[in-house]
Chain A
Amino acid sequence: KQEVTQIPAALSVPEGENLVLNCSFTDSAIYNLQWFRQDPGKGLTSLLLIQSSQREQTSGRLNASLDKSSGRSTLYIAASQPGDSATYLCAVKEYGNKLVFGAGTILRVKS
């Protein structure tokens, strides 16, 4: 059974820091990996989607990498801002088209 783990569970950093969020998965038979952002009381917003054949995707200050063979992905946030404070979730789309989510990392960027 696919399991997705996100470390750390919570992270607090001062504004301006570069930071890395980690996501690991147990079964490398995946189609893609997605990173989502969730604001309090809101739904999830898709940030980046990396196909299994890709190594990374970038959007603005966000860069996500994927190492399928080792079952790892990282989300890099450059020059963090208070507006980046949210919960970040990763999810893998496994064969059979199901999305399996991690529990998320709660990020707080202090001004």
Chain B
Amino acid sequence: NAGVTQTPKFRVLKTGQSMTLLCAQDMNHEYMYWYRQDPGMGLRLIHYSVGEGTTAKGEVPDGYNVSRLKKQNFLLGLESAAPSQTSVYFCASSYWQGHDSPLHFGNGTRLTVT
């Protein structure tokens, strides 16, 4: 019963490097989300997807790109990492965007940019 799986769990980058975070879900969910969590703040939405081949910007999209080529996967890319992107990143999915559909979260990726 895997649910939502994020890889990698930890990563350290130098300023200017690039990387891709992978999120995979095995629940056949249509909706997928990327959030970042910073100390003393709630989770903030970076990008989201309402289905295969579609993506949309969230609250804090700058510096990130996403792709949803397959329904089960949602990728988050950092093209040129900055120290301000040091954070814990969470992927989530839901069956639909209905008001009784809870989110299922992965365990997070802790990213440090030096």
Contacts and interface: CB of A to CB of B under 8 A. Distances in A.
Interface of A: 4, 31-32, 34, 41-46, 49, 51-52, 89, 91, 93, 97-104
A106 to B, nearest CB: 11
Interface in B71-110: 90, 92, 97, 99-100, 102-108
A100 B99 CA distance: 14
A103 B40 contact: yes
Given A4-B42, A103-B40, A51 B100 contact: yes
B105 A31 contact: no
Interface of B: 4, 40-45, 58-59, 90, 92, 97, 99-100, 102-108
B32 to A, nearest CB: 13
Nearest to B106: A43
Contacts of A91: 42-43
A52 B41 CA distance: 24
Contacts, number: 52
A18 to B, nearest CB: 25
19 contacts: A32-B100, A43-B90, A43-B105, A43-B107, A44-B92, A44-B105, A46-B104, A49-B102, A51-B99, A91-B42, A91-B43, A98-B45, A98-B59, A99-B43, A99-B45, A99-B103, A100-B42, A101-B44, A103-B42
B41 A43 contact: no
A37 B100 CA distance: 18
A35 to B, nearest CB: 11
A103 B41 CA distance: 5
A10 to B, nearest CB: 11
